Amino acid sequence: MVAGNKVGFSFLTWGRALVTTEQFSQAASYLEKEIEIHPSSSEAHLLLGKAYWGMGRIKDAKAAWERAASLEPKLAPLVEARLARLNRLQKLLIISNEVNAEEQVPPFLVRDLLSAYFSRLGFTISPRLSGEFLSRLTSSLDALAPLALDEVRKMSEADILILCDAASYLEVQDFREDQIKATARLAGTAIDLHHHTRLASYQALRTGSAPTLLEASRAALKTAADRLANELLQQIVSTEALRPRLAVEPEDICLPRLTFPQGSRVAFEVTVHNRGDEEARSFQVNVWERQPGFPKGPARGEDRLIDSFQVASLPPLSSATFSLEWEARTPGLNQIGVSIQTENRKKEMKGQGQEAHREVLVLSRDQILEGLYRLALSYTSPGSQDRLLLNAQLKVALRPGDESSLRDLLKVAIDPHGSLLTAIGLGIRPWNIFSDEVAAPMAKRAAKVDAQNWLALIKGARDRPAHETGIPSRSQVYGAHVVLEQLLPDGSAMVKVQMPLH
């Protein structure tokens, strides 16, 4: 509460509320009073700059924001982003040969009034010509007065603009040669003359009478210029209004990896940015998955919602990160996507990245198994016993109920003398373990367990009575020893074990 304020309210609190509801004029009055009491309040200066901007007081807004940044260095990036708008609006372009047909207002006078008006706001006026008009004027000068054309070629850009103003007002299509020459000579020195004097000269050149146009049209001229200035200012304030710019990129979907086994639960994060120079209010972040078979593109109704987050406020030039979990259920190329929904979607999101997604590969058990065996096979010699054994084990793994595949495995796994049994176990590096020091021993341990299971299966199939069929259940056996351990490039492990049968 402001010290000494008997009514019990804070000017800053009311100013903040009025800025939020876009009542800029009232907000400015409260914030100015707050700054009188607390001149070092960076928030008050920042809010006052926004109120001034909404009122069209661009120059005052710039000063208020610069003061806020000087008081609080952390505000410098935000202030720089807002002042960048001024750099884009430093010059307003007005077509110099436009004449108000109803009021017959000379365009250079309108431009002068506009220039004076906008200079008070921190802008400069830069006239420009239509190419068609300038070309027509040059052609007329070339055809009617070669000497005058030579004079035009020596003129500066500003002098040519003045000449075109004069020619436009004096109806160039009706010029006589002597008028062309006189206008060209006059334009050569008119840049140093006051516009009133130049207008009188042009009027005298056209009619040969006293300069009465300025006095007769002064009121109409002021009205037309004020109306045009207000229209332009409203366009500026509307086009360059402070607004949020919510965005999300594919790299903002932070997954531990891009390949997952089917059935795994994946913890990941999503980050949403407000890259604008205004607070983003009341928006929703939807995180969804698109399973294989659905068309690519923006989120569709068939997409499954993973989670949704309602955000009340996100400050300018800041980010928000959300943590969630996803279950990899469907094998194939899945998509994890993020969509931003706002109440005023068109105003806040136009032209911005309102949706992003990343593709992740979900592998079934058979796909993982086959890929693991293919990798292990690439590290065995063609025609070797190990290569034959891996191929036989893979067939049994992919077709567990096939008796012929099991018989082929027995032929390879048991030596010709029936005294030694060999098996190869493969262990996958845990997908959610990122430390090599931890993952490597776990992969080797899994490979040893897998090798023990293969030994148990092969031994059980060899020892079963002839009349029994079916694949024996796997279990641990004893008496085996490791003859080979190898880590594969992807972090998985291959372990070869043997055991005597007698």
Between the alpha carbon of residue 345 and those of residues 1, 8, 246, 355, 496, the distances in Å are 37, 38, 10, 13, 61
Q: Are residues 456 and 490 in the same domain?
A: yes
Residue 1 lies in a domain: no
Q: Are residues 435 and 420 in the same domain?
A: yes
Between the alpha carbon of residue 392 and those of residues 38, 452, 473, the distances in Å are 84, 16, 18
Q: Are residues 328 and 453 in the same domain?
A: no
> CA 138 to CA 149: how far, in whole Å?
7
Query: What's the pTM value of the predicted model, to 2 decimals?
Result: 0.61
Q: Are residues 473 and 492 in the same domain?
A: yes
CA within 13 Å, CB half, 194:
3
Residue 77 lies in a domain: no
> Which pLDDT belongs to residue 48?
95
Q: Are residues 337 and 385 in the same domain?
A: no
Domain containing 462: what range?
366-500
Q: Are residues 439 and 317 in the same domain?
A: no
Boundary residue ending a domain (223, 239, 255): 239
Tokens describing residue 433: 């373990």
Counting every residue written for the chain, the total comes to 502
Residue 85 lies in a domain: no
CATH of the domain at 35: 1.25.40.10
- Identity at 247, one-letter amino acid code: A
Instruction: Count the domains in the chain.
Output: 4
Boundary residue ending a domain (336, 360, 384): 360
The answer to whether 328 and 334 are in contact (CB under 8 A) is: yes
Q: Are residues 101 and 207 in the same domain?
A: yes
Tokens describing residue 60: 């005052």
> Which pLDDT belongs to residue 186?
46
Tokens describing residue 310: 């309602």
Q: Are residues 349 and 404 in the same domain?
A: no
> Which pLDDT belongs to residue 10?
83
Mention every residue, 6+ apart, whose C-beta is less than 8 A from residue 207: none
Residue 280 lies in a domain: yes
Boundary residue ending a domain (295, 330, 360): 360
Residue 255 lies in a domain: yes
- What does residue 499 show for φ and ψ, rounded to 5 degrees? -150, 145
Residue 174 lies in a domain: yes
Q: Are residues 211 and 268 in the same domain?
A: no
CATH of the domain at 272: 2.60.40.10
> Which pLDDT belongs to residue 44?
94
Residue 292 lies in a domain: yes
Mention every residue, 6+ apart, whose C-beta is less than 8 A from residue 180: 140, 141, 144, 145, 148
Q: Are residues 219 and 114 in the same domain?
A: yes
> Which pLDDT belongs to residue 283?
93
Q: Are residues 172 and 261 in the same domain?
A: no
Buried b (16+ CB within 10 A) or exposed e, 458-497: bbebeeeeeeeeebbebeebeebeeeeeebbeebbbbbbb
DSSP 8-state secondary structure symbol assigned to residue 491: S
DSSP 8-state secondary structure symbol assigned to residue 100: B
Residue 80 lies in a domain: no
Q: Are residues 356 and 371 in the same domain?
A: no
> CA 219 to CA 346: how far, in whole Å?
42
DSSP 8-state secondary structure symbol assigned to residue 174: G
* Residues of the chain scoring pLDDT < 70: 1-9, 86-114, 120-229, 231-233, 235-240, 293-302, 344-353, 465-476
